[in-house]
Amino acid sequence: MTRIYALLIVFLSALFCLPECHAAQPLPDSETTVVRIVDASTLSKEKIFTGTKIWIAENFRSAKAVLEYESKDDGILIGNGSMNFPTSGAMELAIKGDWLVQFTMRVDIKEEKFRLSFINITISTPAKATSGGGVLPAYSGPVWNQADMQKIKVKLEGFGDSILNSVTSSKAKIDF
C-alpha cells in the first residue's frame, strides 16, 4: 500500500512540475513573440546583411542548416535557431540547465537599422529520474510560464546587441 502512495506522489509531482502540466495553459502567441529594432547608425544594408549571416554561422551550428530563406535585395533572413534555457542561480541551473529553447528568427534589414523577430518559441526538456525512483517524462512544446518567457525574451533581445557588435567589429577583423 505504501508503494502505491509513493507512486501516486511521483505521479502528482510530475503533473505539477513539468511544462505540460494540464492545469497550466500555454502562453498566447502575443506573449511569446519577441520583436526588437536595433539602430545600426552608419552601417549599410549590405554590411548588416553580411555581418548578420556571419553572426548566425558563428553562433548556431550551421548557417546553411539554420537559414530557411534569405534575400539580400529585400534584406530578409529567416531561420531556425536554438539555445540553452537562460538560467540564473544554482537551483535553477540544476532544474532547467538541460532545457533547450527553439525558435524561428527573422531579420529585416534596412539602411542603418534592422528588426529581429522571434516566433514559434518552444521549450524541450529531457526525461528525468526522480528521487523516488520514478521518471518525469520529456517535454517539447510551447512556453507556458510567464517567468520563463521573460528570461527567454531578455536573452533573445540580447541577440540584437550581439549582432550589432559583431557587424561593427568585423571591420576591425578584416583590416588586421
For the stretch 76-133, pLDDT in tens is 999 999 999 999 999 999 889 999 999 999 999 999 999 999 999 999 999 988 888 8
The pLDDT, as a whole number, for residue 39 is 97
Residue-level pLDDT at 24: 64
Distance CA 148, CA 2 (A): 36
Burial, 155: exposed, middle or buried (Cβ in 10 Å; 0-12, 13-18, 19+)? middle
| Contacting residues for 54 by C-beta, under 8 A, at least 6 apart | 166, 170
pTM above 0.75, yes or no: yes
Whole-number pLDDT of residue 164 = 97
CA dist 56 and 58 (Å) reads 5
Question: Cα 116 vs. chain centroid, distance in angstroms?
Answer: 13
Domain spans of the chain, in order of start: 29-174
Q: If you classify domain 29-174 with CATH, what class do you get?
A: alpha beta
Backbone angles phi, psi at 60, to 5 degrees: -120, 165
